[in-house]
Amino acid sequence: MRAVSSLRRFDLTRGRLGPEEEKEVVERLSRGELVVYPTDTLYAIGCRALDAAAVRALRSAKARDADKALPLIAADLEQARSFTRDWSDEAERLATGFWPGPLTLVLDASPTVPREVLGAGSSLAVRVPASLFATRLAALAGPLVSTSANLAGEPPCRTVDLALASFPAATLAFDAGPLDGAPSTILEPRAGGEIRVVREGRIPIDAVRERLGPGANVTTL
């Protein structure tokens, strides 16, 4: 059983983390600690995505159905691509057009992604956020689970205090002040060039069609 750590909270409104602070953060994440952190949309509850035990702890804290996949954030396009397979031309066009930013791509996962992340499926939902802090965290510790810091059926937590109240199991937190971002748009590139819209969020579908060009096959669920 992993030792229980006390809460370590950082105030990002006062500036970036120093080298020693970054080292401490990586060590704590490597121990499987759960983290509340800001993205370019809202606060997320997460952990190291390649740590199966930490992902199980996160699922328990969020009461997430075991069959449902958990989304990830990556540091950059290269890191995101490394955890997927069958990266299509459409995925490349969308990623280079909207990353970093509020676009999530649903793609076949590589064998390196733990089953605890994928749930009952084989697809990975991943994005590179337009948050320098979130991408720095993923660069330091590897890709992170990034699910909204609210319990099922509850409204999004727009402050770190509300997120910590919902997730007392989190022992690492980063306060960037109140957040009020719309959720990401979720797209699933499929065989034959089809792009399925799972959820329209901050990026409008018209912008997606414009990025893909004439003849784009964009469908909704």
Q: Where are the domains of the chain?
A: 8-87+100-181
62-109 pLDDT per residue, tens: 988 889 999 999 999 999 999 999 899 999 999 999 999 999 999 999
22, amino acid identity: E
User: What CATH number matches the domain at 8-87+100-181, 3.40.50.2000, 1.10.10.10, 3.90.870.10, 2.40.37.10?
Assistant: 3.90.870.10
| Residue 74 burial by Cβ neighbours in a 10 Å radius (0-12, 13-18, 19+) | buried
**pTM assigned to the model:** 0.93
131-183 pLDDT per residue, tens: 999 999 999 999 999 999 998 788 888 999 999 999 999 999 999 999 988 89
Alpha helix positions (H), 63-131: 77-82, 89-98, 115-118
23-67 pLDDT per residue, tens: 999 999 999 999 999 999 999 999 999 999 999 999 999 988 889
Look-up: residue for tokens 């750590």? Answer: 5
The values of phi and psi at residue 85, to 5°, are: -140, 165
